């Protein structure tokens, strides 16, 4: 029951922050969903950092890792919004922005996870 509560709390905080960031940044570019992009990249960085710290000398407990990865990152990042936004771009026939958004989200997301793991090695 404690683990479910941790996921619930982390997910709630992540969802609130995602909403705030998305509302703030999605209005900057007409054909690029910057808010969703930003939260997904930050979430990738956080999950890489948290899992790296968790694996490194058991720096985080299993409950802390669960709260931050499944809970916070699960609520903060959003694949469903990413898919919907891509659908909107495809429906509008905007192949260029669809391609840029999809490729950059995946490539930069993976890079952010790698950077997160790298950063976790620097923390003593």
Instruction: Find the farthest-apart pair of alpha carbons in the chain and give their distance in angstroms, rounded.
Output: 50
Give dist(CA 105, CA 100) in Å, integer. Answer: 8
74 annotated as ligand-binding: yes
77 annotated as ligand-binding: yes
Of 62, 37, 55, 31, nearest to 112 by C-alpha is 37
Which residues belong to the annotated binding site?
Answer: 74, 77
Which residues belong to the annotated binding site for Na(+)?
Answer: 74, 77
């Amino acid at each position: 029951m404690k683990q479910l509560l941790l996921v619930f709390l982390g997910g709630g905080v992540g969802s609130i922050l995602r909403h705030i960031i998305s509302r703030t940044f999605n209005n900057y570019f007409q054909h690029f969903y910057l808010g969703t992009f930003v939260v997904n990249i930050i979430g990738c960085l956080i999950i890489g950092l948290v899992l790296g710290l968790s694996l490194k000398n058991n720096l985080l407990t299993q409950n802390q890792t669960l709260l931050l990865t499944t809970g916070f990152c699960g609520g903060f990042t959003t694949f469903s919004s990413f898919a919907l936004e891509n659908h909107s771009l495809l429906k509008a026939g905007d192949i260029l922005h669809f391609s840029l958004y999809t490729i950059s989200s995946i490539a930069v997301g993976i890079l952010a996870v790698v950077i997160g793991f790298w950063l976790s090695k620097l923390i003593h």
